[in-house]
Structure 1
Amino acid sequence: MPPSDTGPGPRIRQFRTMRRMTVRALADIAQASPSFISQLERGRTNASIGTLRRITAALGITMADLFDETAPARPQVVRRADRPRLDGAQGVHKYLISQPPLRNVEVYAADLDPGARTSPTPYTHGDAQEIFLVITGNVRVWLGPEADQQAHDLGPGDSIEHPSSVPHLAANTGEGPAEVLWIISPATPD
C-alpha cells in the first residue's frame, strides 16, 4: 500500500511531534505497538475508532481535531472556578489554563500556601522554554542541580525564564498566599 497524505495519520504525527512525544510513548499510552503507530502516521494502515479514541486521549485532542484541518482556532473561555485542577504537592493548588489540544504553549496557574513548595526536590520536564511569573506574594525559585543550585527571590510582577530541562523548584517564602503562572513553550509531553 503506498503512503497516504490523507486520513488521520499525518495529523497524529503533527500533534505527537508538537508535544515532543516519541512514537513509543504514544504507543504505550494508546495501547498499541510502535510499529503500528509508525505505519498509521505514514498512511500505510488504518485504525479502529477505539484505537483512534485512545490515541486522541493520549494526545489531549478530540477526534474532530484529527480530521478538521481547516477549522479556525476556537476561543476557549475558562472561568477561574472551572479551571481543571491538577494534583500537586501539599499546599500547591495548580490549574491548567491552556486548554487541549495543547499546541505551541501551555500555561498553568497556581496558588501556593505559605511555606508550600512545588515539589520536595528539584524536577525537570521535557526541554522547553519556561517562564515563571509571580502575580502576588513572594516566591523563591531554585535553579540547577543540587550541587550548583542558585536561588532567586521574586516578588509581584517578577519573572524568571529557564529551560524546563534544568532542575527547578519554587517555594512560597511569604507570610500570605502566592499566586504564580508558568508559561511553557512548546507544550511538554505528559
Structure 2
Amino acid sequence: MSKELGLKIRSIRKQKKLTLKDIADATGFSISFLSQLERGKSSATLESLKKIAMVLHVSPGHFFEEEAPEQPGGSLMIDRIATSGIHYQNLAPGLDDLLDFMPMRVTLEPGEDGGQPIIHSGQEFVYVLDGVLSVEVAGNRHELTKGESLFYSAQESHYWYNRSNVDVVFLCVSSDTGKPSAT
C-alpha cells in the first residue's frame, strides 16, 4: 500500500508541476521524508496526508482512489478509502482544480478519529448524516447528532472523533485559501 500511495502522490505532484521543495515548503515536511514517502520507503499519518492533499488541492481520499463502475443514469461515482478506518468519498470528482472548496462524504468507523489536530487556512463545514460526531475546535468539543452542523475556521486546531460503537457519516466541505500549517 505504501508504494502505491507514494506513486499516487508523485503522479499528482508532477501533474500539478510541483517540486518536492514546493511541497516541503508548504507542509513543513522535509524533502527527504517526502521523497521516501513517494518511493514507498516511509509511511504517512492521516494528518500528513491531509496537509499534502491541501497543497495538491485534492481531497485526502484522492490518494486512495478506487473507481467504481458507472452507476445507472451514467454518473461515475468514485469512492476513496483511507486505510485507517476513515472513508472519504469525493463529491466533486474531477473538479479538484476548479473548486476553491472540497465537498466530501466521510465515514468514521467506531473508535476512529481524524488523527492529531490540524491547522490550515480556510474554513470547514460539517453536517452529520448518521451517528454522533465529536468535533474538537480550539480545545472546545462539540457533539453533533444527525441533522446537526458546525462551521469553523480551519485556522484553529481541529479534528474529528467517533466515540461511539457505530459508524458516523457526515459531509465535510473544506475551503482552502492557502497552505497548511504544522501543529
* TM, length-normalised to structure 1: 0.51
* CA distances 1:152-177 after superposition (whole Å, capped 9, x unpaired): 00000111111111111111122211
Specify the code of the residue in structure 1 equivalent to 2:160: A
Q: Which has the higher strand share?
A: 2
Q: Unaligned 5+ residue runs, structure 2?
A: 1-15, 23-55, 59-73
1: distance between equivalents of 2:178 and 2:167?
Answer: 27
Q: Secondary structure at the match of 2:19?
A: helix
Out of 116, 119, 127, the position equivalent to 1:133 is 127
Residues 111 and 178 in structure 1, CA contact (< 8 A), matched pair in contact too: yes
2: distance between equivalents of 1:183 and 1:59?
Answer: 13
* CA distances 1:72-100 after superposition (whole Å, capped 9, x unpaired): xxxx9442xx22x1536x22112222233
1: distance between equivalents of 2:127 and 2:110?
Answer: 17
**1:103 Cα deviation from its structure 2 partner:** 1.9
2: distance between equivalents of 1:138 and 1:184?
Answer: 20
Note the 1:114-153 alignment, pairs <5 A.
114-119=110-115, 121-125=116-120, 127-144=121-138, 149-153=139-143
2: distance between equivalents of 1:78 and 1:29?
Answer: 32
Out of 84, 89, 92, the position equivalent to 1:95 is 89
**1:132 Cα deviation from its structure 2 partner:** 1.1
Out of 152, 157, 167, the position equivalent to 2:157 is 167
Q: CA RMSD in A?
A: 3.0
**1:137 Cα deviation from its structure 2 partner:** 0.3
1:156 aligns with 2:146: yes
Partner of 1:34: none
> Following superposition, which runs of at least 4 residues in structure 1 exceed 6 angstroms of deviation?
none
2: distance between equivalents of 1:159 and 1:59?
Answer: 24
Percent identity among equivalent residues?
A: 19
Q: Unaligned 5+ residue runs, structure 1?
A: 1-24, 32-57, 61-75
Decide which structure has the larger Cα Rg and report it.
Answer: 1
* TM, length-normalised to structure 2: 0.53
